[in-house]
Structure 1
Amino acid sequence: MVRRIVELVDARGRTLGECPVEEAHLPPGRLHRAFSIMLFDDQDRVLLQRRALSKSRFPGLWANTCCSHPAAGEDVAESARKRLDEEMGLHVDSLRELGTFVYQALDGQGAAEHEFDHVLVGELDASARTAPDREEIEELAWVPYLELVEDAAARPERYAPWVPGVIELIDQARATA
């Protein structure tokens, strides 16, 4: 088993060191770099994933298209493209970073998240074939973006705790476009 290492950061995203991913997710969580990707199609739908029931953190909840942690010093966008390929069998040429936010959450099962999250967006043809890693993903769904926004606000318990921050950055980018 490969032991994954995450990059510890301060609240401004400056590197402080490294630690094993498992250690970073022990309550209350150590602040570390992460990324969240949201892919849109040409009908303003987003590709969501429901996290596998076997996941160690927030299993069975709906989340953005893909999320993970870059290796220390690794380019976030490059790491994100690699993770899309590994987790979903998707090749996306261009991802655009919208910004970052920090969140902290306990999952009620003994794990925590405390992440400096980079939000990236990209485009994908809805007919693109996916090959989801079943250890990571329970199911996928294309959902109209506005429906996601409304449902996440009305039923937050269905969604991973970082989804509101992802939505907020997307909405901010759209307001200034």
Structure 2
Amino acid sequence: MSRRVEDFAHIVQVTFDRVFDVQGGTFSFESGGKKHYSVTFSDDTVPRDGSRYAVALVEQGNWQKIVGWRDLSTPDVVLAESAWDVARDQAWAVYWFGPFFVFGALLFFGGWAALAALLLFLWASVYFVQQARERNRLVDQALRDIPPAAPPGNGPRIGKTGKTWITGVLNIVRWWP
């Protein structure tokens, strides 16, 4: 089954007519007579007045859930979360919650149930990482296709650090016990 960007995000083009209430990386803006309050890009970017952006929102009109964005004056795409971030979060979930479910299943239902619980945790982790990877690929391509189209680059920047996939790998290795 092939996925489309509409399965993950709504792409909107916005002109920031007026940006106000800037505090740190949080800002409010007015566009086309509508005001939106307390918007945050994960890399603390604050758009300039008059700038045009393409933004991927999880829900149509909900500026609190932003997946990625692109300043249309540049070819750079920025994503809020990488698949490596999701992998790290899933590893922590398995590490902290997995033993409770696995040992609970072992205690109350036996070894096969414990194995099934462990496999379910691992399958869910792989599924969530794959979904994040697919979402990021589709959102990156959709944001690059917004006119003026951006050429394929080295991949999108991820959040505040501007990391790419290799820095994601190095981040996981750094935290590995």
Q: Which is bigger in relative contact order (C-alpha 8 A, separation at least 6)?
A: 1
TM-score, shorter chain, exceeding 0.5 = no
TM-score (normalised: structure 2) = 0.25
More strand by share: 1
